[in-house]
């Protein structure tokens, strides 16, 4: 039938955009390897990656130990935060939901703070080994899970999107205050290791930590992808989803598990990174012109990765020797998009 053909064309358009995005990601990955305080040319980079035995040992070290882990972390962080944001926006039916804005990220920092400051001796001067990395990640998951639980309870009672948003910001501030108080009461050496963590950035993630971060993000994204059908049904709200045969409790558990793993893991290693999780799902919906999650999940993964790579490149201030904190860059990129969402939705009556 003609309509089916049009519908398939729509899907084809989405597939073409996804293909284009997946070509852009390696391109920007390479571009991200180029920037840094020490200039390395493209041929040198390629040589260091593919024929390291012939390359300058120092360049190989910079590429393998610093730039590749950082760029790879950027991809993971962008993808994870964006998919977490997409799931939150769908399940809460709130276009302004996101892991940072609703306090899920700060919940993760509280988890990490309690672990680091509470067991300062155990962790020693820094967060280095894989075992302690898993501990950090688990603490972040639990912290973000608890905040998510509070938001679920609030949104069961309050339907107004803006009210939930304000409450989320309040929760976020309250948790930050608790973290500050914890810092105040902790001794100098544990405080130091925590402060190092709070200043965390994409570049501070070591290869050992990546061996924890990568499987965590992979699992989170897999759960999200397998929840595509649930997420589609959640678009109409829980009652409709149930009336169409969805096991709401199981579906919600899966989605929240994925959100906690994704937002918690990234916050655990990179510190709080804002506005990627809220902005990227909207860009994906706009580009792909669809509400179907089996297209939106891959779309947000790719756009999130791209946006984070771009943020990282900007934060290196190409041509200069200093770097900016990456979460300032994501805020400056993301906030205009959030403002645009608010104005557009205000006009069409969706908020």
Using CB under 8 A, pick the residue from 102, 123, 210, 246 that binds another protein. 246
Residue 243 makes CB contacts below 8 A (sequence gap 6+) with none
Q: Which two structure tokens, joined as six digits, stand for 47?
A: 């040589």
Q: Give CA separation, 252 vs 227, 231, 238, 241, in Å.
A: 9, 9, 10, 11
In the bound state with another protein, the residue whose beta carbon lies nearer, of 133 and 300, is 300
Cβ nearer to another protein, comparing 42 with 291: 291
Distance CA 294, CA 302 (A): 13
Residues 86-105 contacting another protein, CB under 8 A: 95
- Provide, rounded to whole angstroms, the least separation between the CB of residue 247 and another protein: 5
Asked if 319 is part of the footprint of another protein (rule: CB under 8 A), the reply reads: no
The answer to whether 10 contacts another protein (rule: CB under 8 A) is yes
For the bound state, the minimum distance from the C-beta of residue 246 to another protein, rounded and expressed in Å, comes to 6
What are the tokens at 124? 């020693």
Token pair for residue 95?
């276009």
Measured CA to CA, the distance from residue 89 to residue 280 in angstroms comes to 11
Among 218, 235, 324, 333, binds another protein (CB under 8 A): 235
Smallest distance, another protein to C-beta of residue 233, A? 6
E-state strands within the chain: none
The answer to whether the beta carbons of residues 84 and 278 sit under 8 Å apart is no
294 belongs to the binding site for another protein (CB under 8 A): yes
Q: Does 248 bind another protein (CB under 8 A)?
A: yes
Tell whether residue 3 is a contact of another protein (CB under 8 A): yes
Q: Distance (Å, rounded) from C-alpha 296 to C-alpha 293?
A: 4
Q: How far apart are the first and last CA of the chain?
A: 37
Stretch that binds another protein, among 31-39, 141-149, 244-252, 298-306 (CB under 8 A): 244-252
Contact between 236 and another protein by CB under 8 A: the answer reads: yes
> Token match 């996804």: residue?
18
- Residue number with CB closer to another protein (187 or 247): 247
Which residues would be at the binding site for another protein (CB under 8 A)? 1, 3-4, 6-7, 10, 95, 226, 228-229, 232-233, 235-237, 239-240, 242-248, 285-286, 288-292, 294, 348-350
């Amino acid at each position: 039938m003609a309509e089916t053909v049009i519908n398939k064309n729509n899907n084809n358009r989405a597939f073409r955009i996804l293909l284009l995005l997946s070509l852009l990601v390696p391109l920007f990955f390479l571009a991200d390897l180029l920037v840094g305080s020490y200039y390395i040319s493209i041929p040198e980079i390629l040589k260091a990656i593919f024929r390291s035995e012939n390359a300058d040992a120092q360049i190989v070290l910079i590429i393998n130990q610093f730039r590749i882990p950082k760029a790879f972390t950027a991809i993971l962080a962008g993808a994870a935060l964006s998919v977490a944001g997409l799931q939150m926006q769908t399940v809460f039916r709130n276009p302004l939901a996101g892991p940072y804005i609703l306090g899920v990220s700060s919940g993760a920092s509280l988890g990490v703070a309690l672990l680091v400051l509470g067991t300062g001796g155990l962790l020693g001067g820094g967060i280095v080994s894989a075992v302690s990395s898993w501990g950090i990640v688990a603490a972040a998951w639990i912290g973000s899970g608890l905040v998510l639980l509070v938001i679920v309870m609030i949104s069961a009672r309050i339907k107004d999107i803006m009210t939930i948003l304000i409450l989320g910001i309040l929760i976020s501030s309250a948790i930050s205050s608790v973290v500050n108080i914890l810092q105040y009461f902790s001794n100098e050496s544990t405080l130091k290791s925590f402060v190092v963590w709070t200043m965390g950035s994409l570049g501070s993630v070591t290869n050992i930590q990546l061996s924890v971060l990568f499987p965590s993000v992979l699992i989170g994204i897999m759960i999200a992808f397998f929840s595509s059908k649930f997420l589609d049904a959640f678009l109409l709200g829980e009652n409709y989803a149930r009336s169409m045969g969805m096991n709401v409790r199981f579906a919600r558990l899966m989605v929240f598990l994925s959100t906690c793993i994704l937002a918690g893991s990234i916050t655990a290693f990179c510190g709080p990174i804002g506005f990627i999780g809220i902005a990227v799902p909207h860009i994906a919906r706009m580009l792909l012109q669809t509400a179907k999650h089996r297209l939106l999940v891959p779309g947000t993964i790719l756009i999130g990765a791209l946006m984070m790579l771009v943020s990282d490149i900007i934060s290196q201030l190409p041509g200069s020797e200093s770097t900016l904190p990456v979460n300032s860059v994501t805020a400056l990129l993301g906030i205009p998009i959030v403002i645009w969402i608010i104005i557009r939705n205000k006009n069409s009556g969706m908020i």
